[in-house]
Structures are given as C-alpha cells and as structure tokens.
C-alpha cells in the first residue's frame, strides 16, 4: 500500500519568514495530494490540494508543488503569521472517484515565533 513520509516533524519559523514542509510518497499511482492543518482540539482542516496533472497550485500565502517523477510534494507558506502555528499533515491517495482512502504523513508541528 501507499506510504507517506513527512519532514520535518517540528519547524520553528520567525514571523514573516517562509516555511516549507516536504512529503514523499511510494505509490506512483497516487494522483491526489491534499494538505491539512490541525489546531489543538480540532479536526484536520483542508487548506490546499493538488492533483497529479499540475505541478503547482497557489492560494494566497500558501502554495503546493508536486514532482511526480521524484514522488514528492511540498507545502510552502510565505509571510508566516502567528495563526499559522498548528500541526500540518500531508496525504496521498489514488483518486478513482470510488474509495479516496487518504494515507497521511506523520505531521509537522509548525511554530511561528513572534
């Protein structure tokens, strides 16, 4: 089955600087890659996703890049703010409009230092 590795496990960034979180996946058939943000005591919230037919997607301060050949994808947060502090999870799945069983990475705890 799919295996997703995520790093770093913790990341501290000065407010205003950029943060980058990286994930690799094992199954070349995976074609859907979402990123989730989880705040304390809450469920994961989808913040951005990308499908395998594109290499990059942006949404304001957040961007995701995908390298299908190398089987890795990354989350980029620019101009970080204190409210960006949370645990971030990457995931991968084979989207066949049937079972979208997401396989998650182990998470990155991002701390923004004011």
Q: Footprint of another protein on this chain (CB under 8 A)?
A: 6, 32, 34, 36, 41-46, 49, 89, 91, 95, 97-107
Question: Judged by CB, which is closer to another protein: 43, or 114?
Answer: 43
Q: Are strands 62-67 and 56-59 parallel, antiparallel or unpaired?
A: antiparallel
- Write down the least CB distance from residue 13 to another protein, Å: 20
For 99, which DSSP code?
-
Question: Judged by CB, which is closer to another protein: 91, or 112?
Answer: 91
Q: CA 89, CA 107: separation in Å to the nearest integer?
A: 5
Question: Judged by CB, which is closer to another protein: 25, or 44?
Answer: 44
Q: CA 35, CA 48: separation in Å to the nearest integer?
A: 6
Question: Judged by CB, which is closer to another protein: 33, or 65?
Answer: 33
H or E element, residue 81? none
- Write down the least CB distance from residue 75 to another protein, Å: 15
Q: Which residues contact 7 (CB under 8 A, 6 or more apart)?
A: 21, 22, 23, 108
- Write down the least CB distance from residue 27 to another protein, Å: 14
């Amino acid at each position: 089955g799919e295996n997703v590795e995520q790093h770093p496990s913790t990341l501290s960034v000065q407010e205003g600087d950029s943060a980058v979180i990286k994930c690799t996946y094992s199954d070349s058939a995976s074609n859907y890659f979402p990123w989730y943000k989880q705040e304390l005591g809450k469920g994961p919230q989808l913040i951005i996703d990308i499908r395998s037919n594109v290499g990059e997607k942006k949404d304001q301060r957040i961007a995701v890049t995908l390298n299908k050949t190398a089987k890795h994808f990354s989350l980029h947060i620019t101009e970080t703010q204190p409210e960006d502090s949370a645990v971030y999870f990457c995931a991968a799945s084979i989207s066949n409009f049937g079972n979208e069983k997401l396989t998650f990475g182990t998470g990155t705890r991002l701390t923004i230092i004011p």
